[in-house]
Structure 1
Amino acid sequence: MKTVLCYGDSLTWGYNAEGGRHPLDDRWPSVLQAVLGAGVYVVADGLNGRTTAFDDHLAGADRNGARLLPTVLMTHAPIDLIVIMLGANDMKPWIHGNPVAAKQGIQRLINIVRGHDYPFDWPAPQILIVSPPAVSRTENAEFKEMFAGGDDASTRLAPLYADLADESGCGFFDAGSVAETTPLDGVHLDAENTRNIGQALAPLVRVMLEL
């Protein structure tokens, strides 16, 4: 049995811009699980507002992906592959709004995964970096201000992440090639688009796990 950990934010959690949370079957980690079948165990660890490696004290939960990752790795070990899709929340102006900083945040996560002290001498998992779909324009006043400038900055994540993946020997996938954010808030995904990500990731995950 292979274990795949999906480490992300509200796009992995299944946030529904129409209100609430997408049904379990519509969330992309669940779709990935369904496509891969019983020989793979897919763990979804999504947290609303999670950043790559930066603090955001506006919620009761710790949103710093770098600080949380070691605990998550220990919780679900042994892990064969970790799929990291983060960076959208880094585009908030009060976080930093800079795609280069998000790339550096992803580099920090790679270093944590590879340098972690796993129990029983288990090897570090392979890493698949996924750039989130770009933030889009919206008439939602709150989200428009929350992600001001993010529609431009987030389009730069995919090429930066692709270069980082190539340099660091990780897998890479651009989720924006198969999914786009909803105009309801410019950030999240409708059910069809989140399902698209799970479907599209399955062939790459199979290759990386040698299934």
Structure 2
Amino acid sequence: MKTALCYGDSLSWGYDPEGGVRHAYEDRWTSVLQAALGSQAAIIAEGLNGRTTVWDDYLAPADRNGARILPCILSTHAPLDLVIFMLGTNDMKPQICGKAFGARRGVERLIEIVRYHAYPTAADAPDILIVAPPSICETADPDFSAMFAGSIQESQMLAPLYADLADQLGCGFFDAGAVAKTSPLDGIHLDAVNTKAIGKGLEPIVRMMLGL
């Protein structure tokens, strides 16, 4: 059986923009991907609300810096065949980074961590799939609108920047914005239909990268 780690933020955790609760297990994109692959692969869902690529954010009880936590996660779940990154939305917060290029550099650092980590097994470093999150959209929600002020245009640059990075570093790439759209309820998160669409859309490339 092959193993893939899905390392992301609230879009992978399953944050529901309607009420701020968590989507049902079967509606999360990681669960949809698991169901599609069946017993051929184990999909590990590692999503944390507010997680950034490499930036500190002290507004939550959990450490949101993706680079600082990643080595621990890699050792916990080793051996791995594939690491799927879907991060960058929270980097768009002006107080965090606010620039798509900063998120691109952050993902580059995460790739470096995966490739040079001291794994506890003799297995090779896993392959890497970079997923660009759907772009931020307009919302009437005052809190999220303020939290991500001026970030819509920057978020639209994530997909081309991530695609170039994947090509440069020999990683897989998938644009989640090609199959899913963020909800205008908060401009950031996904309803059940759209989060499930990401899982369905990822199946072919994940299957190929895992050799299934």
Shorter-chain TM-score: what band?
A: over 0.9
TM-align CA RMSD? 0.5
Specify the alignment match of 1:209 in structure 2: 210
Q: Which runs of 5+ in 2 are unaligned?
A: none
How far is 1:119 from its partner?
1.3
Q: Give the deviation of 1:39 after TM superposition.
A: 1.3
- The 1-side partners of 2:109 and 2:180 are apart by 26
SS across alignment from 1:109 = helix
TM-score (ref. length: structure 1): 0.99
User: Cα distance, 1:151 vs. partner?
Assistant: 0.9
Determine the structure 1 residue equivalent to 2:152.
151
Aligned residue number for residue 92 of structure 1: 93
Per-residue deviation, 1:150: 1.2
Residues of 2 paired with 1:109 and 1:124: CA distance? 13
Q: How does 1:6-25 map to 2 (within 5 A)?
A: 6-19=6-19, 20-25=21-26
> For the residues of structure 2 that align with 1:164 and 1:175, how far apart are their CA atoms?
16
Distance 1:5 1:119 in 2: 16
Give the deviation of 1:209 after TM superposition.
Answer: 1.0
Unaligned residue ranges in structure 1 (runs of 5+):
none
Which stretch of the first structure deviates more once superposed, 115-124 or 161-170?
115-124
CA offset digits 1:124-168 (Å, max 9, x no partner): 110000000000000000000000111111000000000000000
Give the share of equivalent positions with the same residue, in percent: 62
Q: List per-residue Cα deviations over 1:84-119 (Å, max 9, x = no partner).
A: 000000000000110001000000000000000011
Aligned residue for 1:165?
A: 166
- Does residue 71 (structure 1) correspond to residue 108 (structure 2)? The answer is no
TM-aligned CA deviation for residue 120 of structure 1: 2.5
d(CA) in 2 for partners of 1:195, 1:125: 25
CA contact (8 A) 2:79 2:121 kept: no
After superposition, residues 94-113 of structure 1 pair within 5 angstroms as 94-113=95-114
Instruction: Give 2:63's aligned amino acid.
Output: D
Q: Residue 156 of structure 2 aligns to a residue in which SS?
A: helix
Report the TM-score, using the length of structure 2 for normalisation: 0.99
Runs of 4+ with deviation above 6 angstroms: none
Match of 2:195 in 1: 194
One-letter code of the match for 1:29? T
State the alpha-carbon separation in 2 of the partners of residues 127 and 27 from structure 1: 21
Q: Which whole-Å CA distance do the structure 2 matches of 1:91 and 1:37 have between them?
A: 35
d(CA) in 2 for partners of 1:120, 1:204: 26
Write the deviation string for residues 3-59 of structure 1: whole angstroms up to 9, x where unpaired. 010000000000001121000000000000000111100000000000000000011
